[in-house]
Structure 1
Amino acid sequence: MPFYHDYSDENAVILYWKYSDDDEFNVEELIEPENLEKAKDYHPKKLLEHLMVRKMLKMLLPEHKILYKTIGEPYLWPDSAHISITHSFPFASLAVSKNRVGIDLEKISSKILRIKDKFLHESEHIWTQDRENEVDLLTIIWVIKESLYKVHLSKYWSLKSHYQVFPFDVNNLSEIKCRVFDDFFSHDFTAKVFKIEDFYFAIVEEKRDLDN
């Protein structure tokens, strides 16, 4: 498994890897007993994605494992840190942080134009509609909102109505303002986005002052 990049900072360890045909995995060693039966039915590429994430975890916290809540949210056991995972073959990424963290990656594709009305906030339509780089803009918004959802999880919220990304320049993706909100509150965040080959990769971290 070739190392691709380390996006770690003072709060989180964030590793990003790319699959290689030379990689070797022991399924029973890497997949948790609680997840093993389900993993047997995975598509081969999906299984490889899960194995890459587990191999990264073994590098960082060899005595820990990834389990899932009933709503599908992954968590670390023993519960010593927050995690976020994302994968889209041939890439996989794992974040381990003392604060809540969300990561997401998505391949750049014009297919996203078909679903934009399902996740774009009304304000985002104004500055993305019919732009020459609309596919890039939409893909970046998507990975940011997916990352926000992992930080501020609620199955009752929609990416369209309760998540907002403010205008940004595709040539400067290091600090993109975004927020999660409803009629009673608004939590502001700053996302970092990286273009990796034909994918966009987003990182959203919760800051300590959000808990105050």
Structure 2
Amino acid sequence: MPLFKIIDINPSAKVFLWKITEDFNELFRNVSLKDTSLARLEGMKSESHQKGFMAVRMLFQEAGYSDFDLYYDAFGKPHLKDGTHISISHSFDFSAIVLSTCNIGIDLELVKDKVLRIAPRFMDVSHLDNLSEAEQMRKATVVWGIKEAIFKLKNEVGISFPDHIFESPFQLSDKKCSAELHFNNVIQHYDIIFEEIDANANGELKQVYTLVCAVES
């Protein structure tokens, strides 16, 4: 089974990454799903989303849990019955979960040129000045991941990426920064950890994913 990588974010948080190489039937044979999850799976129109959903459940099993240990609150945020904090992400050929004793959010994104076209909608594009186009793509993907991860962690309706979430200046080589959420007259602080995942195998086109975790400071 292609458990791709385990990353220790800090002493209390661990990321599990799954590279999806199986077909639908192989994944389906190897996961145990409760009835509500099976219904959700059957309702997905995209096989890619179905496989990502099941790969997440494979990661639960690698981490010592199962689909039966997971539930979602009224806002759609996942929780584990034993109180361990969890966040989930899926992008193309990868699924990821992070488990932590602290509230945490995760986002995983394939680095693509589309991010530069939409960057003005979610970030201050002056933060991309003096970078090559490839570096702009990579940095904009990190910024998108920061905002997605904080949004998942906070999980409140009305949060705007450009208006409420602000990252501190950082370089790609830093692999960490800080960020703030300004929302409902409160400022909350987050520690950000990011890492690039090289997904290439021999003969494949170059694919790089960006993994971002946000932890409440």
Superposition TM-score, scaled by structure 2 size: 0.83
- 3-state DSSP of counterpart to 1:26: helix
Give matches, 1:1-212, under 5 Å.
1-8=1-8, 9-21=10-22, 24-26=26-28, 29-42=31-44, 43-62=46-65, 64-76=68-80, 78-120=81-123, 124-129=124-129, 131-132=131-132, 133-173=135-175, 175-182=176-183, 184-197=185-198, 198-207=208-217
| Aligned counterpart, 2:203 | none
Equivalenced residues, count: 202
Q: What is the Cα deviation at residue 39 of structure 1?
A: 0.8
| Aligned counterpart, 1:210 | none
Which ranges in structure 1 are unaligned for 5 or more consecutive residues? 208-212
Q: CA RMSD, aligned part only? A: 2.2
- 3-state DSSP of counterpart to 1:106: strand
- 3-state DSSP of counterpart to 1:13: strand
- 3-state DSSP of counterpart to 2:51: helix
Q: 1:30·1:51 contact (CA, 8 Å) conserved in 2?
A: no
Q: What is the Cα deviation at residue 141 of structure 1?
A: 0.2
Which ranges in structure 2 are unaligned for 5 or more consecutive residues? 199-207
Q: 1:164·1:178 contact (CA, 8 Å) conserved in 2?
A: yes
Q: What is the Cα deviation at residue 100 of structure 1?
A: 0.7
Q: What is the Cα deviation at residue 85 of structure 1?
A: 0.4
What percent of counterpart residues are identical? Answer: 23
Q: What is the Cα deviation at residue 14 of structure 1?
A: 1.7
Q: 1:16·1:92 contact (CA, 8 Å) conserved in 2?
A: yes
CA distance in 1, matches of 2:184, 2:140: 25
CA distance in 2, matches of 1:27, 1:47: 13
Q: What is the Cα deviation at residue 170 of structure 1?
A: 1.2
CA distance in 1, matches of 2:161, 2:50: 27
Which letter does structure 2 place at the counterpart of 1:15? F
Q: 2:31·2:58 contact (CA, 8 Å) conserved in 1?
A: no
Q: Deviations over 1:13-37 (max 9, x none)?
A: 3211212238932369533311211
**Runs ≥4 residues deviating over 6 A:** none
Q: Deviations over 1:61-93 (max 9, x none)?
A: 3354333333322222x2521110001121111
